[in-house]
Structure 1
Amino acid sequence: MVRWIHTHKLAGRNFWNIDTQPNSSWSWRKILDVRELVKGRFIHIVNNGEFTSMWYDIWCDFGPLADLVSTRMIYHEGSDPSFSIKDMVLANYLNWPSSWLSRFPQLAMISAPVLSLAPDVIKWRDIDGNLQDFLVHLVWETIRSKSTQVPWASDVWFSNNIPKHHFVMWLLMGEKLKTQDKLKHWKVSENQVLLCSLCEQVSESHDHLFFNCPFSLQVWNHVKNHMEFPIFSNSWKDFTLLVSPFAKRRIARNIMVKLLYAATVYSVWQERNNRLFKKKKRSVDQVYKDIYATVRLKLMTINWKKTPQTLRLKSDWKIS
């Protein structure tokens, strides 16, 4: 794919110059949108010169030569924008027109590549300026927006998580779940009372659902018995502060606690949605049993090391 992008020619233009057409596919438009972010990071190591564009690829210190020499000038001298390095190298020197050398003296400083039989190699210049083999994760690390890591990152994202549970956890940590208290910003009638669908007593919010609601508090109290963890508060914020210092340690108890925490949050949110939108209700015991079965099944899939702690965890969760 990378080689095709860099070598494909269309009407004398390559990938960097292709215009986005209105009827282009969504994926193709998105690929073209990142050109400005990545175009200066593809570095060509010239060997045989066949797959490196003379004008549009970066193979020398001055960047793409098309930034210096216009397409009109290229055609005027009998050259072609589709030429590769091999097309322009004659007897191991670059055959620059004298008019170009007088106008762009830096061209004289470019050494002619010594061609060989090996194919050209494309490298990626990472965020530190080092040349690396092209890998998708390096590209992502270079172009993505970055901010300071939040203290609860290890609570939410870890290798043994259940994705749908931890996506809801991620929304909870940012207080982005669409609880009913947020509807007041959507011009809902002031006379309409939006009560928690679990207890039907007070207005619904993140703090109420997790875990001040009488229903969710009962679920939470059932789950606590499996955590073997000192619980100082029923507030999800306080519990997160308690778990975070231990979350980075990949030991059996910590993984089990994080799985239980996320499964409880997910199940409470799921029960809220079922009652609100589907008019279906489950009891506290039914919600708790669903949490227990889900976490137990996940624990069964983990390849644990044989330690006294993991053996005790397997015994407690009835895992053979």
Structure 2
Amino acid sequence: MVSHVWSILTNRESLWVAWIHSYRLKGRNFWECKSVPNCCWSWRKLLQLRPLIRSFCWSKLGNGRDTSVWYDNWSGISPLSSFLSSRTITREGFSLQATVADLSSNGSWLWPAAWRDTYRVLIQLDQVQRDANNQDCLLWKDGDEVSDYSSSGVWNSIRISDPEVNWHSIVWFSQCIPRHAFFMWLIMRKKLVTQDKIMYWNYTRTTNMNMMCCLLCYESLDSHDHLFFECKFSAKVWEFIRAKAGMDNVEAKWSAITEWLRQRARSKSADNLVCRLLVAASAYVIWRERNTRFFKNHARPPENICDSICDTVRYRLMGLKFKNTPKVRRLLQRWDIHGALAVDDGG
């Protein structure tokens, strides 16, 4: 949507932009155009983006003929409309559609001298000079960095960003199973609604929840650490399936498992891929088993859970292509994948 706004601001040659200027703006500046009640949804959404992106749209002055002197960002104190009202501007006989070139002549500004006394910040514009040999240019400015418009640049500027976590590569990777990856993200953020969290939210209900326990092992309350994989039931599942990925020595603790994966996060080997798929599938299937027991009162033995996990990973591997190497062939044989997968030399 910002790309559409940028097309309007730069007056890109297209039928749609021409229509917007003729029927929506009608000579007005995009930044000061008001949203009318009967306008269409798409136009209203474009106008609602203005507070978000206005500070990033920077007009690099050339001759000043394409830059609004009142509404565009072209200096350290602009837009001037932030302190000069429309009434103040028109009362002095200036047009609201005036450009920087219209208000600048021979290196001086044409506004009343009284404005310099009333609005002292205008004195800072004495240092601004136009370049008559070049046209104005609209750029994207994020802090001190100024660049040409790009969708990626806009995204990086306006999105809410946090420091990169060190576990992202074990959750999100191109061969992941999307629902498993999203579930892994919830676990890493400790966002699952486990019994310990419910009691923390509403401590007054503790007396009514004394009978609550993990529905997998029927011992302590379930929690993130307990379910993955300190619970006797889930630990038994983990002890069986970890051998399928060469993780025999990794203990049944979520912190130990994720640390083991994180240390190998940069590896692009097929073995490492299987490890990530297997851990995600294990957590997902165990959580589903927990919910099935809670909501449907239906339980499966650990052996069935292990089979479900292995089948899920196997089916995912059958849909991928790998390099034709002895190590990969041994891996596929270990997962009983033979004629179902075409092994590709350049995969």
- TM category (shorter chain) comes to 0.7 to 0.9
Distance 2:44 2:231 in 1: 48
Matched, 1:56 2:59: no
The residue that corresponds to 1:126 in the other structure is 142
Distance 1:285 1:53 in 2: 72
Aligned length: 314
Deviations 1:164-191 (A, max 9, x none): 2122212222322111122213232514
Residue 245 (structure 1) shift:
0.9
Distance 2:268 2:262 in 1: 12
User: Which letter maps to 1:96?
Assistant: L
The residue that corresponds to 1:150 in the other structure is 165
The residue that corresponds to 1:73 in the other structure is 88
Distance 1:102 1:300, change over 3 A: same
Deviations 1:170-223 (A, max 9, x none): 222232211112221323251431111223333212222111223322322232
Q: RMSD of aligned C-alpha atoms?
A: 3.8
Distance 1:221 1:28 in 2: 57
The residue that corresponds to 1:227 in the other structure is 245
The residue that corresponds to 1:260 in the other structure is 278
Distance 1:5 1:182, change over 3 A: farther
Pick from 142, 159, 168: which aligns with 2:183?
168
Structure 2 SS opposite 1:122: strand
- Alignment gaps of 5+ in structure 2: 11-20, 343-347
Residue 101 (structure 1) shift:
7.0
User: Which letter maps to 1:171?
Assistant: L
For residues 200-239 of structure 1, the aligned pairs below 5 Å read 200-239=218-257
Identity %: 31
Q: Which moved more, 1:240-249 or 1:102-111?
A: 102-111
Matched, 1:276 2:258: no
The residue that corresponds to 2:14 in the other structure is none
Distance 1:40 1:294, change over 3 A: same
Structure 2 SS opposite 1:190: helix
Deviations 1:57-93 (A, max 9, x none): 223454323245432221123223344557x378998
Pick from 260, 265, 277: which aligns with 1:242?
260
Deviations 1:5-50 (A, max 9, x none): 64874996644785899x9979967984782x54322113467977
Q: Is the 8 A contact 2:216 2:290 kept in 1?
A: yes
Using the size of structure 2 for normalisation, the TM-score is 0.74
User: Which letter maps to 2:123?
Assistant: P
Distance 1:10 1:231 in 2: 72
Q: Is the 8 A contact 1:89 1:112 kept in 2?
A: no
User: Which letter maps to 2:169?
Assistant: S
Q: Is the 8 A contact 1:20 1:29 kept in 2?
A: no
User: Which letter maps to 1:64?
Assistant: P
Pick from 76, 82, 105: which aligns with 2:123?
105
User: Which letter maps to 2:5?
Assistant: V
Residue 250 (structure 1) shift:
1.9
The residue that corresponds to 1:3 in the other structure is 6
Distance 1:301 1:84 in 2: 60
Q: Which moved more, 1:217-226 or 1:106-115?
A: 106-115
Structure 1 SS opposite 2:322: coil
Q: Is the 8 A contact 1:6 1:14 kept in 2?
A: yes
Distance 2:313 2:64 in 1: 57
Residue 145 (structure 1) shift:
4.5
Structure 1 SS opposite 2:55: coil
Distance 1:219 1:51, change over 3 A: farther
Residue 98 (structure 1) shift:
4.1
Pick from 174, 177, 196: which aligns with 1:181?
196
Distance 1:41 1:204 in 2: 48
Q: Is the 8 A contact 1:50 1:84 kept in 2?
A: yes
Distance 2:325 2:33 in 1: 59
